[in-house]
Structure 1
Amino acid sequence: MSTALPKAVQEAIDKIEIAELQSRYMYAIDWYDAQVYVDTFTEDGELVFPEGYAKGHDQIREMITRVGQFFGKLADASAPTKPAHLRHFVTNQVIRIDGDKAHAVAYWFDLNNDNQPRWPYLAGYGYYEDDLVRTPQGWRFSRRNVINEISSTSPPENPCW
C-alpha cells in the first residue's frame, strides 16, 4: 500500500516549508546568525546580490559574517538608548514546485531604527528570485538572487511568471 500523499497536499506542504525557509533566512540576517544563514543553502548554493557573489557554504558564511560585523557596528554606534535593530520581512511569495525542485519569487523589505529616538524607517526593498531543491534536510536555496530596488534597476518585465 502506498503512503504517498495526494499531489495537491504534498505541494501545499512544500510551499509552506519553502515559505518557512525564506523566513528562517530573514531571522538569520537580523540576528547575524551565520550558521543558520548558511544552512538555508545547499553545499554548492549560490548567492547573487548587488554587492557581489558567493558560492558554497564557506563563501556565503564569510559574506554574512562581514554583513553582521558592519550592521553590528552601526547598531552600537549611537547606543545611549536601546540598541538599534534591523528587521527584514518577506511577502507576496509565489512558489512553483516541480518535483524536487522549485522556483520562487518574493518581495522583501527591511526596517531600521539606527537613529535617535529609534524611530523605524524603510531602509531597503526589492525582491528575491530563488531556485530551490529538496534535500534530506528539507528545502534549500540552490541559488538566491537578491534584487535591491533601491540600489539597482528593476527589470523591464514582471519577474513572476
Structure 2
Amino acid sequence: MTRYSASYAQDRAEIDDLLSRYLFAMDYNDFDTYADTFTKDGTLEFARGAVTGRDNIRAAAKGFKEAVAGIYTDVDGNPAVLRHVLCHSTIRVEGDKAWHTGMWFEMANDGPREASGRFTPTLGTFGIYEDELERVDGEWKFSYRNIRNEFLTGRESGADNPVLAMEAKAEKR
C-alpha cells in the first residue's frame, strides 16, 4: 500500500507545476526556463544521448528543436507547431527527493489543410518520462530526466510496468 506524507499534496502540486513549466518552455523555445527546471548538475537523457549541467542542457534542447524544425513541417514547408501533453503521472516523494513516471505524447499541425485553411493536427511521438527530482532552496528541480520514446529502437520503456521500476529506484536510495 502506498503511503503519503502530510506534505504530499503540496509537494505533488509543486512537482506538477514544474512538469508543466518544463513542457511550456520546450514548446515555446524558452531554453533558459527549460534549463532552469534542472538542478545545476542535472542530467537530461534523450534520443540524442545524455547531457549534464544547465548550460549543456540548454544547448542540447536548442539544437534538438532546430533539428526537429527541419523534420516536422506543415504542408507549406514551414516548421510545424509542436505541443507536448503529459497524460498520467505517478509521483513518489521522500523528504527532499522525489521520483516521477509519466506518459507523454506530442501533437503537431503537420496534417493536411482543411477547407477553412487551418491545419489538421496529428498525433506524433509518445513515450514515458522517468524522473528523479530534488528540492533545492525550496524548489523542486529535475536532477535526472530520461525521456523514453516508444517509437525509437533502444529508447522504449520496455514491457514491464514503469511505475514498478520507479518504486524500485526509490527503495534503493
Q: What's the TM-score bracket when you normalise by the shorter of the two chains?
A: 0.7 to 0.9
| Farther-moved stretch of structure 1 (151-160 vs 117-126) | 151-160
Aligned residue number for residue 70 of structure 1: 67
**Residues of 1 paired with 2:59 and 2:120: CA distance?**
31
1:99 and 2:102 matched = no
Provide Cα deviations, 1:96-126, integer angstroms capped at 9, x if missing partner.
0000000110000000112441211111001
Gaps of 5+ in 2: 114-118, 165-173
1:36 and 2:37 matched = no
Gaps of 5+ in 1: 1-6
**Residues of 1 paired with 2:26 and 2:75: CA distance?**
21
2:80 corresponds, among 55, 79, 84, to 84
Provide Cα deviations, 1:45-86, integer angstroms capped at 9, x if missing partner.
0011122111001110110111222334567775589x7310
Aligned residue number for residue 169 of structure 2: none
RMSD: 2.2
TM-score by length of structure 2 reads: 0.80
**Residues of 2 paired with 1:72 and 1:154: CA distance?**
25
Aligned residue number for residue 138 of structure 1: 139
Aligned residue number for residue 168 of structure 2: none
Aligned residue number for residue 160 of structure 1: 163
Quickly say closer, same or farther: Cα 1:137–1:64, change in 2 above 3 A. Answer: farther
Is this contact kept in 1: 2:74–2:111, CA < 8 A?
no
TM-score by length of structure 1 reads: 0.86
Quickly say closer, same or farther: Cα 1:16–1:64, change in 2 above 3 A. Answer: same
**Residues of 2 paired with 1:73 and 1:136: CA distance?**
39
Higher relative contact order (CA 8 A, sep 6+): 1
| Aligned length in residues | 154
Percent identity, aligned pairs only?
Answer: 38
Quickly say closer, same or farther: Cα 1:77–1:138, change in 2 above 3 A. Answer: same
Quickly say closer, same or farther: Cα 1:77–1:122, change in 2 above 3 A. Answer: closer
> Partner letter of residue 66 of structure 1?
G
**Residues of 2 paired with 1:139 and 1:69: CA distance?**
28
Is this contact kept in 2: 1:74–1:114, CA < 8 A?
no
